[in-house]
Structure 1
């Protein structure tokens, strides 16, 4: 069965596809996770963080594949930002919840440390469709990406896209074929749709989120390989 796929271009001087975070280290993947795309689409639609059921329903319907537009054999350029800030007892910082957050505890001698990895001068193409279910249609997503309710960012708030995210449509039976229809070369990631790919690696990756609890939500089977 042939499906219609939404074509996205994610490109920026700096962007991040966050992986599993431990302590203060915020890593980046090479490819966007399912939860990252849901966050991007939810932001374009104007959804709020507390709308967990809507985000979860969208993630459950999402079928996508991604391609790093890179020369053969090349690896993404990852840069690391080390942040050190000394927070005193009375210092306050604003958060995404809209409320100031303070420092707890009695010791203030040590700085607050954060490490964040970014993909530099990177370009990723994404093809996606939605399985049947309740919620926005594929046309709703295209319209929201073309005229987003809020400014879009790719992974982290400083990571503004360098051009339009919505790039049009393509037709294909599978996510892998939809990527091939773009006629671009690079390393790719696509879902396991029941077909064997002898030259690709089959992986079980942790990239979904439980949007109601806000915690990691499990893994999914994917293939990773090169598109010529």
Structure 2
């Protein structure tokens, strides 16, 4: 019998792996609905859906290996990062999805949430005030007008699988929707700034790197407390707190 491996588990959702099958259990069926519909629409490789019986979605493992992991050097060649950039450009050029969720939030609302979170980070003793203040300043560049694109919404490097320099699959589409294209690029390269040039080369058009850096700061500031309270370690080498320190 294949071993049951817990990939991720917290109060909102859990993912288990049994052999070549992933079982995703989610308390919010809307996220699963989004994931299933997104995978049916996007012009990039995605996992095969094996079956669905709420609250469980079963998908097949994709071949290849993850592009990398946060906090660890990526063994993927520059060509794989460039291929990922090209795949993301195909996604962003696709027709917009019929739903409005995802990374497309009102800038004023997001700024207010960030200000509240920054205050909690300081008063709760999670991070020093100067580190929070500096990154809040950097994050300001993300609050600008942008044209909605079909975005993945949570494009961590562990969600992109490659074989050599070929993309074999992009997983975890529950946050997909109409969003800021640069948010996807920033999420992918968070903690791997050295590969941003490769991704942009594959993406095929110039991007505002100050906005990407702003999203690095913004995403990290919003994540530190949640990660700390859910059993993850944003203080590990190369992870979110180091991303924030790099902006000092």
TM-score normalized by structure 1? 0.27
Q: Which has the larger radius of gyration?
A: 1
Higher relative contact order (CA 8 A, sep 6+): 1
Structure number having the greater strand percentage: 1
